[in-house]
Amino acid sequence: MEIDELDHAVVVTVNRDEAEQHAWKGTDAPVDIVRLAKSDDLDEATLADLGFVARPRWINWCAPVRDSEADFEAALSGTERRNIRLGRRFVQDEGLHVSVRVGLTPELVDQFLVLYDRQIETMPRGKNFARRWRDRLLAAGHEHVSVCVYEGARMIVGSLWWIRPEQSVLQMRFSAASADARLSRVMRVAYMEAFRFARESGLAFASLGNDPSLFGHVVQPGLFTFKSRFGFAPVPSQTLDPKLGGEHADRILTLRSLSDPALVVTWGRHRGTPLSWPESAQAPGHDLLILSSAPDEALTGRFRTDGFRETRSVTVV
């Protein structure tokens, strides 16, 4: 049995024998999550009997860009279509400039990183992956496109996208926005311009990037809400990036170090089946587990779950 503190959550890793014996109860550590090692060797029924839920380590949010902008927007809710209109109106009324540029330069990336740094500083457990990736982004700059919004010379929204012609995907690497731009829905304007670029480049899909499959720890449920309401659904990240494969099988004992509610994107129909692209994105495959500290039947209605096979809620006492 191993005990680690991962981003303020105490995680105990156990083997099967230790799981059956509830070995974590013998430690003085304030355990938040029990994680089962070598869970890939066990089927779903055995995991359930042990009290564990398996999930992919990473998920990638994907959606078809469709034949036109009108077709893409038609698949969204009325509220989301209104948010796009309000964002565009703000851009027009404030005289903002939207820039779409193929290729990354050091000047553009560094300007983006200033914005990204400030956004990460506001997140309680934010990870500054973009700054770590600076040199790699520039080394592959010709494979990327930037979609940014400027107020004069000041970047207020920045997004860097990876052009993946072999997969027919435009995948977001990183994005950031100033606080006023987020409140004014300007990020949606940048994303819609990125989807237009994908469409005009003959790409069939857009991706809003990879996230951990647990929302409420490092990434928060608000990110899940934004991406799902924007018409995107998750696929296992290994479908597009094999190096992001693998799973966690967790037993969450408390929400003390997580958000309440917390969201877990589980394997659903994908576990143990061959994964291929784009077939994995053509029908809902994942399941959604909503964890809360008190029973609340209204919880399932708070989250858009069109891209999921099924949704259920569980009370964590």
Task: Mention every residue, 6+ apart, whose C-beta is less than 8 A from residue 140.
Answer: 162
Residues 295 and 192 in one domain: no
Residues 77 and 198 in one domain: yes
Asked whether residue 184 is domain-assigned, the answer is: yes
Burial of 137 (0-12, 13-18, 19+ CB in 10 A): buried
Domain range enclosing 173 = 66-203
Asked whether residue 227 is domain-assigned, the answer is: no
The pLDDT score that the predictor gives to residue 153 is 96
| The total number of residues written for the chain in this structure | 317
CATH number at residue 126: 3.40.630.30
The CA-based dihedral angle spanning residues 96, 102, 108, 110, taken in that order and rounded to the nearest 10 degrees: 130
Residues 249 and 199 in one domain: no
For residues 91 and 136, give the distance between their C-alpha atoms in angstroms, rounded to a whole number: 32
* Nearest in space to 100 (alpha carbons), one of 241, 213, 218, 194: 194
The pLDDT score that the predictor gives to residue 229 is 94
Asked whether residue 89 is domain-assigned, the answer is: yes
pLDDT for 169-192, tens place per residue?
999 999 999 998 988 899 999 999
* Nearest in space to 61 (alpha carbons), one of 262, 229, 271: 229
Asked whether residue 220 is domain-assigned, the answer is: no
- How is residue 74 annotated by DSSP? H
Other Cβ atoms less than 10 A from the Cβ of 203: the count is 20
- How is residue 219 annotated by DSSP? B
The pLDDT score that the predictor gives to residue 306 is 87
Asked whether residue 225 is domain-assigned, the answer is: no
Reading the block at residue 98, the tokens are 């939207």
Asked whether residue 198 is domain-assigned, the answer is: yes
Reading the block at residue 170, the tokens are 């435009």
Burial of 12 (0-12, 13-18, 19+ CB in 10 A): buried
Residues 46 and 15 in one domain: yes
Q: Number of structural domains, the chain?
A: 2
Residues 138 and 246 in one domain: no
What distances in angstroms separate CA 257 from CA 8, 13, 37, 124, one per listed residue? 6, 17, 21, 12
Reading the block at residue 37, the tokens are 């090692």
Residue ranges of the chain with per-residue pLDDT less than 50: none
The CA-based dihedral angle spanning residues 219, 231, 283, 288, taken in that order and rounded to the nearest 10 degrees: 40
The CA-based dihedral angle spanning residues 237, 240, 243, 244, taken in that order and rounded to the nearest 10 degrees: -10
Q: Which one of 185, 203, 221 terminates a domain?
A: 203
pLDDT for 267-315, tens place per residue?
999 999 999 999 999 888 999 999 999 988 888 888 888 889 999 999 9
Residues 292 and 253 in one domain: yes
Asked whether residue 196 is domain-assigned, the answer is: yes
One-letter amino acid identity for 56?
P
Residues 116 and 198 in one domain: yes
Collapsing DSSP to helix, strand or coil, 115 comes out as helix
Residues 72 and 189 in one domain: yes
Asked whether residue 223 is domain-assigned, the answer is: no
